[in-house]
A and B are shown apart, each in its own frame.
Chain A
Amino acid sequence: KAGVTQTPRYLIKTRGQQVTLSCSPISGHRSVSWYQQTPGQGLQFLFEYFSETQRNKGNFPGRFSGRQFSNSRSEMNVSTLELGDSALYLCASSFTGRRTYEQYFGPGTRLTVT
């Protein structure tokens, strides 16, 4: 099976702009989670989508939003970018059922805000 893919891999934006990141999960995986990774804060959970519904949400401002499509692909959007939004954004997918399964991560999108 193909792994989790994320596009684009690198992105440079200017403060105040908005950005959309895309994630395609492993085939058959219906849950997609997004994380922000920075040297100072480590891995921080943004949100999780399952069957096109947001199931869990982390402690991030409303500028961060996401959605999931019927084919399980997910996008996250950050509006009004700030310098502090510079980070590696990781997407992870997992198979869901009655049990909890491990997450499989994509390579990430490196966002730089100038």
Chain B
Amino acid sequence: AQTVTQSQPEMSVQEAETVTLSCTYDTSESDYYLFWYKQPPSRQMILVIRQEAYKQQNATENRFSVNFQKAAKSFSLKISDSQLGDAAMYFCAYRVTNNDMRFGAGTRLTVKP
């Protein structure tokens, strides 16, 4: 069974600093997709970044980047220059084509001014 594990229930970071959120997954598939979603308090879940497993290059979206280690089945999210608006619940997710998306339990990120 495909599972997604986020080992950090809570993280905090000082404004303008860098923080890394961890995610590991378990799969026997070779072609799959990984995502990080952000869910601010009482607000809509939004996609932060995606990574295709067949691509070796790590995805980057402005201040957000990932460290994708396929052999280790690790997919961490790095947030640079953290801002107050980055405070949210972050979910790591995994999906194989035409299958359902599997989510981790989430990491609650607090940004301190």
Contact = CB atoms under 8 A, between A and B. Distances in A.
A27 to B, nearest CB: 18
Interface stretch (A15-23, A68-76, A104-112): A104-112
A62 interface: no
A103 B39 CA distance: 14
Contacts, number: 46
A105 B40 CA distance: 13
With a 10 A CB-CB cut-off, give which of A43, A55, A56, A105 has the most chain B CB atoms: A43
A100 B103 CA distance: 16
Nearest to B31: A100
Nearest to B45: A105
A103 B101 contact: yes
Interface stretch (B19-27, B67-75, B92-100): B92-100
Given A90-B45, A102-B35, A102-B50, A45 B100 contact: yes
B91 interface: yes
Interface of A: 3, 33, 35, 42-43, 45, 48, 55-56, 58, 90, 92, 96, 98-100, 102-108
